[in-house]
Amino acid sequence: MAKAKTRFVCQNCGYTSSKWLGKCPECGTWDAMSEEVVAVEKAQSFLPQVEVPRPKTLKSIAKERIGRLVTGIGEFDRVLGGGIVPGSLVLLGGDPGIGKSTIVLDVGMKFSSEGIKVLYVSGEESEAQTAMRAERLGSAGDNLLIMTATDLAAILLQAQAVRPQVLVIDSIQTMYNTELETPAGSVGQLRECTSKLLRFAKSTGIAVIIIGHVTKEGNIAGPRLLEHMVDVVLQFEGERSYAYRVLRALKNRFGSTSESGIFSMEASGLREIDNPSGLFLEKRADQVPGSLVAAVLEGNRPLLVEIQALVARTPYGLPRRTAVGVDYNRVNMLLAILEKRLGMDFGTQDAYVNVVGGVKIAETAVDLAIIGSLVSSYRNKAIAPGVLALGEVGLTGELRRISFPERRIMEAAKLGFHKFIIPQGNLHFDKQKPSGIYQVHSVEEALAAIFA
Ligand SMILES: Nc1ncnc2c1ncn2[C@@H]1O[C@H](COP(=O)(O)OP(=O)(O)OP(=O)(O)O)[C@@H](O)[C@H]1O
Ligand SMILES: [Mg+2]
């Protein structure tokens, strides 16, 4: 095959050059030149002579409904919006070793036992290694094909011959296009390989799942450009030292992005957790100062989390503040509110806040639970079991509304909670409203209710 003509394009300003440059002469950015294939332009009149696609009326299209490919892994299907759409390009990103290959191989095996043909291409592991993992996961049907390759042209050729319904690329960083001279994993290669896969998916109707590593900055496959090209971006995350994993949709052209799937990593692969709300409360020690439960929303589902705090006398000098799982600055702010509004003195006290189970919370609805656990530890007074505290705390010590309080309360009620401290506001319960709801205006009122 003749070498394609390539050029180097600055990813910052678009400057082009015939050779690679370390620094762009136009905008001065370092290491931004990436190789791209130059499309051969054919002489053509303005109006093309060839057959062009015809527009259709919306009504005639709506009749041809596309059936989704359903894995049978409930959590996975739900995040995708009810299964994979044929001809779509799905990008699955996540930290190294989090379990991306495991979940996708599991999906492939489930598909194959449903009679859906899958071609799993690994650029990282040999066929034997993949088979070893598959053995751990369970049994597959005859429709799962495994291949180790990194040359994209060869892969697409094989895929065309085999005609699977789903093609898996593990991972995009190991794939390369021989038309470019840059190594696999470079910006140019990533873009070129992804756009080839995109065209392949759209023209054949084969669904393509691409695995991508996440860089230190948290972007999938380095630059965000891949996220624009694909139909669905899934993020697989979790703390490596804990067993639970969360699958989130960051972008979905065919479904909601507010869904999430929760799994636990076990020796036999990933097990889905259908009812995760109480997952992190299992080993809760009752009646110890410095612990209070809040409910956060993971996608659409409420998840109960235990917030722990420890307030201890500073042995020397500057008091220490530590926050694990919640925002450090937020904890400092809440401590300042307690000092100013309630006259507590943390100037000589270390304060540690921790969310049990390695959960990371970005919601401000846990403010009140943080405050409650801090005060509980400060006063050395345990909070009675069965108390749930929800609410964002403002700088004047007022309690601000949170989203979907009903959903969180109902979930906690199911798990045996019976006292709910929440901000003032309207509540709309579909079913019967549980008793024990305290609607309060301020932190003082909330604390009075919590310790009553
Ligand atoms: N024999 C085993 N028993 C239990 N868990 C295992 C076993 N082998 C692997 N694992 C788990 O699987 C995880 C690796 O999963 P996997 O290889 O799917 O991750 P990955 O995201 O594809 O990683 P990479 O980025 O390296 O491709 C390990 O972190 C480990 O927790
Ligand atoms: Mg892998």
Beta bridge partners of 302: 297
With pLDDT > 90 as the criterion, what percentage of the chain qualifies? 51
Strands 291-298 and 260-266: unpaired
Which of the two residues, 361 and 56, has the higher pLDDT score?
361
Q: What is the mean pLDDT of residues 62-82?
A: 84
pLDDT of residue 64: 62
Rounded distance from Cα 358 to ligand 1 centre (Å): 19
**Range scoring the smallest mean pLDDT among 51-65, 192-206, 255-269:** 51-65
pLDDT of residue 294: 94
Total Cβ atoms within 10 A of residue 131: 13
CA angle 211, 205, 228 (to 5 degrees): 45
The type of residue at 394 is G
Which of the two residues, 187 and 75, has the higher pLDDT score?
75
pLDDT tens sequence across 192-240:
899 999 999 999 999 999 999 876 555 554 546 688 889 999 988 887 7
Q: Residues 6 or more apart from 335 whose CB is under 8 A from it?
A: 321, 346, 351, 374
Total Cβ atoms within 10 A of residue 356: 18
Q: Residues 6 or more apart from 400 whose CB is under 8 A from it?
A: 364, 391, 392, 393, 394, 423
Q: How far is CA 246 from CA 98, 169, 237, 239, in A?
A: 10, 21, 5, 10
206: tokens are 């084969």
pLDDT tens sequence across 398-434:
999 999 999 999 989 988 899 999 999 878 887 788 8
pLDDT of residue 63: 62
- Burial degree of 364 (CB within 10 A; 0-12, 13-18, 19+): middle
- Burial degree of 144 (CB within 10 A; 0-12, 13-18, 19+): buried
Confidence of residue 283 (pLDDT cuts 50, 70, 90): low
pLDDT of residue 335: 96
Nearest ligand atom owner, CA of 235: 1
In the block, residue with structure tokens 């990933």: 270
Atom of ligand 1 nearest to the CA of 240: 29
Total Cβ atoms within 10 A of residue 448: 13
65: tokens are 């409904």
Nearest ligand atom owner, CA of 120: 2
- Cβ 267 vs Cβ 244: under 8 Å: no
pLDDT of residue 440: 95
Rounded distance from Cα 104 to ligand 2 centre (Å): 9
Write out the H or E segment, with its range, that includes residue 35.
Answer: strand 33-37
Strands 118-122 and 144-148: parallel
Which of the two residues, 226 and 439, has the higher pLDDT score?
439
Q: What is the mean pLDDT of the chain?
A: 87
Rounded distance from Cα 405 to ligand 1 centre (Å): 37
pLDDT tens sequence across 88-129:
999 998 888 889 999 999 999 999 998 999 999 999 999 999
pLDDT tens sequence across 306-340:
999 999 999 888 999 999 999 999 999 999 999 99
Strands 89-94 and 207-213: parallel
* DSSP E strand boundaries for 253-319: 260-266, 269-272, 291-298, 301-313
Q: Residues 6 or more apart from 330 whose CB is under 8 A from it?
A: 323, 364, 367, 370
pLDDT of residue 11: 75
- Separation of alpha carbons 322 and 320, rounded Å: 7
- Among candidate residues 208, 131, 205, 204, the one with its CA nearest the CA of residue 169: 208
Tell me the three state secondary structure of residue 152: helix
pLDDT tens sequence across 120-174:
999 999 999 999 999 988 887 788 999 999 999 999 999 999 999 999 999 898 9
pLDDT tens sequence across 3-54:
678 888 887 777 889 898 889 898 888 888 888 877 665 555 555 566 778 8
Rounded distance from Cα 214 to ligand 1 centre (Å): 16
pLDDT of residue 216: 55
pLDDT of residue 90: 94
Choice from 150, 215, 265, 271 to test ligand 1 binding pocket (greatest atom count within 8 A of CB) = 265
pLDDT at position 276 over 50:
yes
- Among candidate residues 89, 93, 84, the one with its CA nearest the CA of residue 237: 93
Beta bridge partners of 207: 166
Which of the two residues, 276 and 41, has the higher pLDDT score?
276
pLDDT of residue 221: 47
Q: Residues 6 or more apart from 286 whose CB is under 8 A from it?
A: 385
Spell out which residues line ligand 1, taking CB within 6 angstroms. Answer: 94, 96-102, 124, 136, 213, 265, 267
Q: What is the mean pLDDT of residues 266-282?
A: 80
Q: What is the mean pLDDT of residues 288-292?
A: 92
What is the DSSP secondary-structure string of 188-202?
A: HHHHHHHHHHHHHHH
Write out the H or E segment, with its range, that includes residue 94.
Answer: strand 89-94
With pLDDT > 70 as the criterion, what percentage of the chain qualifies? 92
